[in-house]
Chain A
Amino acid sequence: MAENINPATIQDQEEVKVTAGRARANIPLADLPDKVHTWPYLVRAEFISGCVLLLVLMVWSITVDAPMEEPANPTKTPNPSKAPWYFLGLQEMLVYFDPWIAGVLLPSLIIVGLMVIPYVDINPKGNGYYTFHERKFAITTFLVGFLVLWVGMITIGVFFRGPGWNLFMPWDYWDPHKVVPLANIDLPYIVGIRSEMGAMLFGAVLVIGWLAGIPGLFWQWKKDSPAMRELGLLRYGIVSNLFMVMAGVVVKMALRLMFNIKYILVIPNILNI
């Protein structure tokens, strides 16, 4: 470019000699100074990625039409009725939890839990670069939450749920009359507790033990370690509770899918977990 311009109008003639063509030359990143000009280095990368994205979007939009079904009919409920795909993880939770837990409490905890991450993760390492070994707990927890609970549940909801919200393989025929035995029973019943009060107590002990007892014991055991001292009781309480809720969701799902367990804690008309 520089050679096309009337040199009389160029502001920095000396600099032209030094820098002309450098952006086009393929200089290895490591040989660049620590601070580089946003133009052209970043703007170029953004421009290319934006062009590629728009190209893919155009081709996709030309070849794949947005879905359009029959006109809305409030008297004709499709089976299954599925929420938009990005909410199918939450709809899947409805299988395992009562609606107010699956539809209100857990989504709120997800949002709040994500927001408190920066305030409870006091590990100063791994700030601004990829690392696993410097923050094993944070990354493992996030990966389980993101890949297993979020992406995994959506995958189940999109591809494996059919009429009656029953499980189907993607290649199975969606039989609306599939008979699934209602074999789910509550955990207290399985272990032989027959009285309502006994079942309530048993369930309450398990749930409170899970959410408060285990974190409390762990705190008693580790509270004098340098990491725990730095974390403090308040942050530890928040982290451990969110963690146990998340782990509890996984445990409850496993109990249901493997042992047909319906509820762990049953307080009729008030709280079922």
Chain B
Amino acid sequence: MPETEPSKPSIFDIVTQNYVWRSIFRHGYADTPRNRVLQVSANVWLHLHPSKMRRHGIRYRHTWCAGGLTFLLYLCTVVTGVVLMFYYRPTGEYAYWDVKYLDFDVPFGMIMRNMHRWSAHGMVIFIWLHMFRVFMTGSYKPPREFNWVVGVNLLTLTLLLSFTGYLLPWDQLAIWAVTVGTNMARATPLLGNEGPFGPQLGMTPRYDARALLTAGTVVGSPTLLRFYVLHCIFIPLIASILMILHFWRIRKDGGISGPL
């Protein structure tokens, strides 16, 4: 092709060189250092990352991607959980049958429920792997002490999220697992009716730490509602706030940990 002849724009150019496209993506895609930086800093999702980072941090064997995958699994449970909420009523008379309806009649209902459950279990496993990795690389050491504390809180909240969700199918597995779990609260010192000094402080089966958790003396319909609200609103809200803090602190504490 002679150099003087203007080249015809390709379909790629037509799509990416128009006014609308350029209003959304303010930088080009050409592989230039400037665009590489903008690709991260001009993107609301990616700008959690620094635009440049220390090279050992991109190795799989340094991070195992465990923290990021924990967050991805959390997003999976949020998306599938919202779908499940459209079909689920948290009362003793409906809950079980709504789940059955989801499993057998709702299009893609079963796979939504499966994905919700397995990603929740995956989240528990990956958050442990993440903690394990962070400990093994000593990444909790200064200046990241406080972010480790936030992480331990997130671990606790993840377990509580999973535990509150365990009750919602309202089957035998659910109520008895939650009965075993909440029974421990009976024995809380001072605040449980069977705990040390609990009875002396006026704790009764109807009025103690366990009754606060189960909204009654047994795991029943009021417990279901209570766990539902904790599971769908309260704990995700707190966990999201802590996640924002956790991710922000990674940047503020100097990004990915590495040899000093």
Contact = CB atoms under 8 A, between A and B. Distances in A.
Interface string A173-206: 0000000000000000000000000000000000
A163 B122 CA distance: 28
Q: Which of B40, B76, B153, B172 has the most CB of A within 10 A?
A: B172
A34 B54 contact: yes
B142 interface: yes
A15 B34 contact: yes
Contacts of B12: 4-5
Nearest to B256: A128
Contacts of A34: 54-55
A32 B57 CA distance: 12
- Of the listed residues A42, A99, A124, the one surrounded by the most CB atoms of chain B closer than 10 A to its CB is A42
A167 B124 CA distance: 26
A57 interface: yes
Q: Is the interface of B mostly helix, strand, loop or mixed?
A: helix
B208 to A, nearest CB: 12
Contact of B179 (A81, A129, A270, A271): A81
Contact of A6 (B17, B69, B184): B17
Nearest to A128: B257
B184 A104 contact: yes
B1 interface: no
Interface size class of B (residues with CB under 8 A): 35 or more
Nearest to A112: B152
Interface stretch (A114-122, A210-218, A222-230, A231-239): A114-122
Nearest to A42: B58
B225 interface: no
Interface stretch (A64-72, A244-252, A255-263): A64-72
Most B CB contacts (10 A, CB to CB) among A36, A73, A91 go to A36
B196 A270 contact: yes
B187 A99 contact: yes
Contacts of A82: 176-177, 180
A57 B53 CA distance: 30
Contacts of B153: 115
Residue among B17, B58, B174, B177 with most chain A CB within 10 A: B58
- Taking residues whose C-beta sits less than 8 angstroms from the other chain, chain A's interface range is 35 or more
Contacts of B176: 77-78, 81-82
A4 B9 CA distance: 9
B9 A49 contact: no
B20 interface: no
A72 B256 CA distance: 47
A239 B159 CA distance: 25
Interface string A16-55: 1001111100000100111111111111011001100110
A85 B181 CA distance: 11
Nearest to B9: A6
B138 A83 contact: no
Interface stretch (B24-32, B226-234, B241-249): B24-32
A5 B30 CA distance: 7
A39 B39 contact: yes
B65 A64 contact: no
A37 B54 CA distance: 9
B76 A128 contact: no
B118 A57 contact: yes
A86 B55 contact: no
A246 to B, nearest CB: 15
7 contacts: A2-B31, A23-B31, A42-B49, A61-B118, A84-B177, A118-B148, A129-B137
Given A21-B31, A60-B118, A71-B172, 15 more contacts: A2-B31, A5-B29, A6-B17, A11-B32, A29-B56, A36-B52, A38-B52, A40-B36, A50-B68, A53-B122, A68-B173, A81-B176, A115-B149, A118-B142, A126-B138
